[in-house]
Structure 1
Amino acid sequence: MTHVTKERLLEAGLAMLLKQGYSDLGIQALLAATQTPKGSFYHHFSSKEDFALQVVDRYMMDVHYGLDLSLGNTSLAPVERVRRFFELSWEKYRQEGYLGCLLGGLGQELSGISPAFRDKIESCFVAIAERITGCLEEAQKQGDLPPDSDPREMADLLVDCWEGAALRSRLRRNSGPLERMLDFYFTAASR
């Protein structure tokens, strides 16, 4: 059974972590924003780190939903399905004020100081790339990608480029870097 209080904390925490990062996330501010007693927080989470790691898990549920929605849309060609996932992501970024990717933000902030976050975030990127690889393999079989291309390397590169573009989008507060990166990548990939 899902706990309403825990879900409320995770949802609020996701928005707060995205906006202000881990270091500036105050548990008291989170509790005030969700009108949650301190004891309830520690009933669900052993520490701030445990909380943030569970927020990442919650975020990944949304990412996998977007992947399912996009990659599972067989009315589109495989390459179009992959692009559609990133277009949906950029629309979400736009709605949130171009704050970017939670994984990228936390990865930049914490990967040098926290092995737990480094490992968690890297495993999330690997999972995303694995899902994309399957669709790119299908595109290759259909002749939409060159036969000598490596779908796994292409998926890893796409995720890497996306994260850089998401950072630039956050800095500029517009979608330009995301659009240009996708156009460049998918033009180059089909050659």
Structure 2
Amino acid sequence: MHTPAATDVRQHILDVAHPLMLRKGFTAVGLAEVLAAAKVPKGSFYHYFGSKEAFGEAMLEAYFADNHARTDALLDGPGTAAQRLLAYFRDWLDSQTGDAAQSRCLAVKLGAEVCDLSESMRAALKRGTDGVVERLARCIDAGSADGSVPAAPDARTTAVALYQSWLGASLLAKIARDRTPLDTAMAGTRQLLGLTQHDS
């Protein structure tokens, strides 16, 4: 159990590391760089994290905790389920095309890199992405119930297809340095859910 002060320092290290990982990836960022940016001594790091791998797992867990809270706020907000789903994907599109490095998707940045390096980090990614899919599936189910999502016979399959589409689009947008793949994903999302341009 961490004391409040210890929890603050631990979270500070994770917060400082996040933009470094988004820019350079997990392997390219050394612990010395993280510790220098966080202004904490090396001994402190090992007080909070047993290894760089444990640190990576904690960073992914913290990322998905924030991601899930943001997802919940969007998918549990006002409006029909279709409106909430579109708001979620608009937020995703905006976060991938903005200037702030903090807004970028850590699952896209680290997914392929760390899954072959660390089983614990792969498992953290799996738990996190499963959590997103579950939330999308619940909202799609709600859309079937309220009549706002006419074309989703199997909510989980549809949620998986959408999430895969958006993860792939985010990666392609990075490769192309262009938002077109994300716009294409949005068009595909409307088509898969049976929504027209008039749905907002």
TM-score normalised by the chain length of structure 1: 0.90
SS in 1 for 2:149: coil
1:45 to 45, 49, 66: 49
- Report Cα offsets for 1:79-121 as digits up to 9, x if no partner: 2212212222332332335984211222211213322222221
Does structure 1 residue 11 correspond to structure 2 residue 15? yes
Q: Which residue of 2 aligns with 1:77?
A: 80
Unaligned runs of at least 5 residues, structure 2: 196-200
One-letter amino acid of the structure 2 residue matched with residue 36 of structure 1 = V
Cα distance in 1 for partners of 2:92, 2:25 equals 19
Q: Which residue of 2 aligns with 1:177?
A: 181
Mapping of 1:130-149 within 5 angstroms?
Answer: 130-146=134-150, 149=153
Mapping of 1:22-101 within 5 angstroms?
Answer: 22-74=26-78, 76-93=79-96, 94-97=98-101, 100-101=104-105
Q: Which residue of 2 aligns with 1:122?
A: 126
Q: 1:149 to 1:27 in 2, by over 3 A?
A: same
> In the TM superposition, what is the alpha-carbon distance from 1:153 to its structure 2 partner?
0.5
Q: Which residue of 1 aligns with 2:172?
A: 168
Q: Is the 8 A contact 2:13 2:34 kept in 1?
A: yes
> In the TM superposition, what is the alpha-carbon distance from 1:183 to its structure 2 partner?
1.7
Q: Is the 8 A contact 2:95 2:103 kept in 1?
A: no
TM-score normalised by the chain length of structure 2: 0.86
Q: Is the 8 A contact 1:12 1:30 kept in 2?
A: yes
Q: Tell me which moved more, 140-149 or 167-176.
A: 140-149
Q: Report the count of equivalent residues.
A: 190
> In the TM superposition, what is the alpha-carbon distance from 1:172 to its structure 2 partner?
2.4
- Report Cα offsets for 1:53-72 as digits up to 9, x if no partner: 11111111221121122111
Percent identity over paired residues: 26
- Report Cα offsets for 1:145-183 as digits up to 9, x if no partner: 347610110111111111001101112233221122012
Q: Is the 8 A contact 1:107 1:117 kept in 2?
A: no
Q: Is the 8 A contact 2:152 2:193 kept in 1?
A: no
Cα distance in 2 for partners of 1:95, 1:81 equals 24
Q: Is the 8 A contact 2:57 2:121 kept in 1?
A: yes
Q: Is the 8 A contact 2:64 2:128 kept in 1?
A: yes
Does structure 1 residue 21 correspond to structure 2 residue 25? yes
SS in 1 for 2:153: coil
SS in 2 for 1:95: coil
Does structure 1 residue 150 correspond to structure 2 residue 154? yes
> In the TM superposition, what is the alpha-carbon distance from 1:36 to its structure 2 partner?
1.1
Q: Tell me which moved more, 36-45 or 143-152.
A: 143-152
SS in 2 for 1:46: coil
